[in-house]
Amino acid sequence: MKIASVIVDVPAKHTDKTFDYLIPEEWTDTIQPGMRVIVPFGPRKIQGFITGIKSESAFEKLREIIEPMDLEPVLNKEQLKLAAWLTDTTLCFKIFALQVMLPAALKAKYDKKVKLAQGINKENLPVKLHEFFKNEQFFSWEDALKNGLVPILQREAAKGHLEIIYEVKERLKKKYIKFVQPLVAEAELEVVINKLPKRAEKQKEVLSYFVQHPDAVEMRILLKDLNISAATVKALVEKRLLTEQDQEVYRDPYQNRVFERTLPLPLTNDQQTVIKPILNTIENNLHEVFLLYGVTGSGKTEIYLQSIQEVIEKGQEAIVLVPEIALTPQMVNRFKGRFGNLVAVLHSGLSAGEKYDEWRKIQRNEVSVVVGARSAIFAPFENLGIIIIDEEHETSYKQEDMPRYHARDVAIERAKNYNCPVVLGSATPSLESFARAQKSVYQILTLPRRMNQQALPAVEIIDMREELRDGNRSMFSRKLFEMLKGRIERKEQTVLFLNKRGHSSFVMCRDCGYVMNCPNCDISLTYHRVNEQMKCHYCSFEAPVPKSCPECNSEYIRYFGTGTQKVEDELGKILPEARIIRMDVDTTGRKGSHERLLKDFQDGKADILLGTQMIAKGLDFPNITLVGVLSADTMLHLPDFRSSEKTFQLLTQVSGRAGRHELPGEVVIQTYTPEHYSIELAGKQDFDRFYHREMMARKMHSYPPFYYLSLITVSHEELITVISATEKIAAFVRSRISNRAVVLGPSASPIPRINNRYRYQCLIKYKREPELYPTLKTILDQYQPNAKSGLLVSIDVNPFILM
């Protein structure tokens, strides 16, 4: 008698364990660990994962598995082991740790079919199966179950004759998507808005929307965002104010593209020095973590490529993580160009169906390399030879929902399982990683020079307060303006970078730097043009826009951190001859548009590329000789102990976009706080000094990398309930861990109320506390069943967002 251990798909405390089920006779040869099955659970039928098979159970009267969902395991042994580790280290439900490793198509309900493999006819299969195919390549999984075909299908699948596919419905649906955009100019829209009768409120709202976003927007998004019906839009289309268009969406952005093959470049001496220890670990199956510390343009990517080459030649596989935002076509090209069809790409721009297709290529060993964003770390390879994390300092490697994992930790854990190296690359390593390298926990490899021997670009920091004192009220300093003009005359290109916080616009005093914050939340208020109000996006506080600065009485307090749109307008006025490409959430909402805009810029169709964070990375065009940062300080105001680090990283990163090729580059950073060390040292591109300066601050306040952090956040609709629960939790933690640890709180979270729920937190700073995890687990066990009482407790181990 065979018994299966099953983790059921019910994320709750009382189901967060394995359940025993009998494996019915007919499935004994079929069912394996890593497969999904349907099991009875109370009165319901639900999905579960087989995590193990055994011959005895401590329970009597076991129920039987109803049926398998897969012909082959969807998770391999190592992934099952990894899931257990994830559960322990991030304190998540077991089911979340399993599901995070699968593509979305395997999580939702999709059409499931048995399909002939490529190049196989039904005549190649046992006669018994012929009738089911009728005249098609596939038949439904239900038919397979009804007719007891699973064992025979499984045998054929093992021979490579058959596979199970999940038809994602969305994929079969629209090839076209409807977009709406204004037909008339902004000024005309404003006129119409004023003329429309009062009762046409919805129409006014739509037109106002387009005043702010003049670009085409997907109809579905427009309707949802403004909560209007299609009829409202239709009325405006009939008035010839708006126009509707069908736009084709790409299925596979890489499908029909030819990638120019590249060959390994002869390495420089510096590169040879750093690649040697990496190759050595690959050859000898050694686990080691390398920190590849090299300025932008120092040849790190070539090191990745040649290390992977070695791994592929050994018959092994590679995972390359790139931050979502840097997963640009250029980056993908470099990998596809070197390894062609051996590369799968996983990023959020793909549809569920496309992601599933890429995942299947990995699962079936058709590729050897995956290049992807955070979750690609779970790629189902079975013989990993290297894991590379580019821009390792990026905070997007941390997932904020359960399981709250950091891709770097997962990488190291997987690499231990496979005895292979991890390479963390960055020009501005995270403080945590650099400190580990200093202590030889990681091995540091340095590429100190740029490939082209060019000096790093000269950086000039401009004090915008001084500009104002001298009577310049433009968002461009005189210096930047002169340089822009020069570039246009010389036909060189400029990147203008707007350091915006989210999409919000806030109010700041241009004399003293005062930022208008919400009185309830440590968050700046957002400016709303429609009614000239300042609003808090978290607690709905509202106030009129101040006429003068509450701190210094200056009248130059205004709407700041303005949108890219505004910058574009102003550029149009002061440099009418400049051709501008604007890249922000508005212009890149459409699939493929990001890529197209970059291509246009590369082809010289514009003088200036203007954009937000998304242009900070990965750009590598020879003709860029000037980079301007319009407002360097906005991020410094965030209530986050990493805000200096993030500012430094971002400024350094952007500066690296200039002068990557023959032409020398210049960088201008405009700021209202030039004296802040993260701005000053980013200007000097001096990571080492920044590291020491920032380490002092971290040490003084007991932050990472000197201490670990765990954050407990409690929320409830009633303040008293939250406070008393958090007090109990804090007291419990204090009673269970040593007094070397620091337990801060209970205190209100930096954002103390969201959606009418009060939020309190307790921050634990510690070095080594073996009792802490069990304590945190107990807290979750204690409070998770209380979801009914409305109390929510969440725990983030090594949090990146402290709000």
The answer to whether residue 265 forms part of the interface with ligand ADP (CB under 6 A) is yes
Q: Which does 511 bind (CB under 5 to 8 A by kind): Zn ion, ligand ADP, none?
A: Zn ion
Q: Note whether 647 and 501 are within 8 A (CB).
A: no
Segment interacting with Zn ion (CB under 5 A) among 152-160, 276-284, 348-356, 506-514: 506-514
63 vs 46: CA distance, rounded Å: 13
Q: Strand pairing partners for 248?
A: 176
Residues 395-454 that bind ligand ADP (CB under 6 A): 451
* Structure tokens belonging to residue 421: 């190296």
Q: Which helix (H) or strand (E) holds 464?
A: helix 464-469
In terms of CB distance, is 268 or 798 closer to ligand ADP? 268
Q: With respect to ligand ADP, which residue has the nearer C-beta, 383 or 452? A: 452
Nearer to Zn ion (CB atom), residue 295 or residue 507: 507
Nearer to ligand ADP by C-beta: 584 or 620? 620
d(CA 504, CA 500): 7
* Binders in 288-347 for ligand ADP, by CB under 6 A: 294, 296-302
What sign does the CA torsion over 580, 585, 588, 590 have? negative
292 sits near Zn ion (criterion: CB under 5 A): no
Please, which residue, 264 or 572, has the CB nearer to ligand ADP?
A: 264
Q: Distance between CA 670 and CA 632 in Å, rounded?
A: 6
d(CA 537, CA 613): 21
Contacts of Zn ion in 543-602 (CB under 5 A): 549, 551-552, 554
Interface residue with ligand ADP among 137, 147, 268, 454 (CB under 6 A) is 268
Identify the residue among 536, 598, 650, 780 touching Zn ion (CB under 5 A). Answer: 536
Spacing of C-alpha 440 from chain mean position: 29
Q: Which does 484 bind (CB under 5 to 8 A by kind): Zn ion, ligand ADP, none?
A: none
- Concatenate the DSSP letters of all residues of 30-75 into one string: T--TT-EEEEEETTEEEEEEEEEEES--S-SSPPBP-EES-SS-SS
List the single partner that 300 binds among ligand ADP, Zn ion, none, CB under 5 to 8 Å by kind.
ligand ADP
| Binding status of residue 526 toward ligand ADP by CB under 6 A | no
* Residue 518 interacting entry, from Zn ion, ligand ADP, none, C-beta within 5 to 8 Å by type: Zn ion
Binding to ligand ADP in span 93-122, by CB under 6 A:
none
The residues in 446-485 that bind ligand ADP, with binding defined as CB under 6 A, are: 451
Q: Using the rule CB under 6 A, is 615 a contact of ligand ADP?
A: no
Candidates 684, 749, 744; CA nearest to 710 is: 744
Complex with ligand ADP: residue 298 or 565, whichever CB lies closer: 298
Least distance (Å) between residue 658 CB and ligand ADP:
13
Of 760, 670, 676, nearest to 721 (Cα)?
760
- Select the residue interacting with Zn ion from 288, 390, 511, 584 (CB under 5 A): 511
Q: Whole-number minimum distance, CB 572 to ligand ADP, in Å?
A: 33
Minimal distance, residue 624 CB to ligand ADP, in Å: 13
Interaction between residue 521 and Zn ion (CB under 5 A): yes
- Count other C-beta atoms under 10 Å from residue 420's C-beta: 23
Q: Which stretch binds ligand ADP (CB under 6 A): 264-272, 344-352, 580-588, 743-751?
A: 264-272
Query: What is the Cα gyration radius of the chain?
Result: 29
CB-CB contact of 793 with 784 (8 Å): yes
Query: Does 267 participate in binding ligand ADP (rule CB under 6 A)?
Result: yes
Q: Minimum distance from CB of 303 to ligand ADP (Å)?
A: 7
Q: Of these partners, Zn ion, ligand ADP, none, which one is at the site of residue 509 (CB under 5 to 8 Å by kind)?
A: Zn ion
Applying CB under 5 A, the span of 351-359, 383-391, 505-513, 683-691 interacting with Zn ion comes to 505-513
From the list Zn ion, ligand ADP, none, pick the one residue 299 interacts with, judged by a Cβ distance below 5 to 8 Å according to partner type.
ligand ADP
Which helix (H) or strand (E) segment holds residue 734: the answer is helix 719-736
H-run or E-run covering 275: helix 269-283
Number of residues that bind ligand ADP (CB under 6 A): 14
CB of 524 to Zn ion, least distance (A): 10
What are the start-end ranges of the E strands in 533-685? 533-535, 542-544, 557-560, 580-583, 608-611, 624-629, 666-671
Binding partner at 265 among ligand ADP, Zn ion, none, C-beta below 5 to 8 Å by kind: ligand ADP
- C-alpha closest to that of 457 among 628, 638, 694, 321: 628
- Smallest separation (angstroms) from ligand ADP to the CB of 603: 18
Residue partners of 155: CB distance under 8 A and separation at least 6: none
236 binds, among Zn ion, ligand ADP, none (CB under 5 to 8 A by kind): none
CA 772 – CA 708 distance, rounded (Å) = 11
Angle between helices 219-226 and 230-238 (to 10 degrees): 120
Closest C-alpha to 176, from 237, 250, 233, 110 = 250
C-alpha neighbours within 13 Å on the C-beta side of residue 296: 24
Select the span of 265-273, 396-404, 537-545, 585-593 touching ligand ADP (CB under 6 A).
Answer: 265-273
Shortest approach of ligand ADP to residue 605 CB, angstroms?
22
Token digits for 579?
Answer: 């051709």
Q: Is 539 in the site for Zn ion (CB under 5 A)?
A: yes
304, 425 in Cβ contact below 8 A?
A: yes
The beta strand positions in 279-339, using DSSP E, are 289-294, 317-321
What six digits make up the tokens of 498?
């707007």
The nearest distance, CB 327 to Zn ion, in angstroms, is: 34
Q: Does 683 bind ligand ADP (CB under 6 A)?
A: no
Q: Interface residues with ligand ADP (CB under 6 A)?
A: 265-268, 271, 294, 296-302, 451
**Binding positions for Zn ion, rule: CB under 5 A:** 509, 511-512, 514, 518, 520-521, 536, 538-539, 541, 549, 551-552, 554
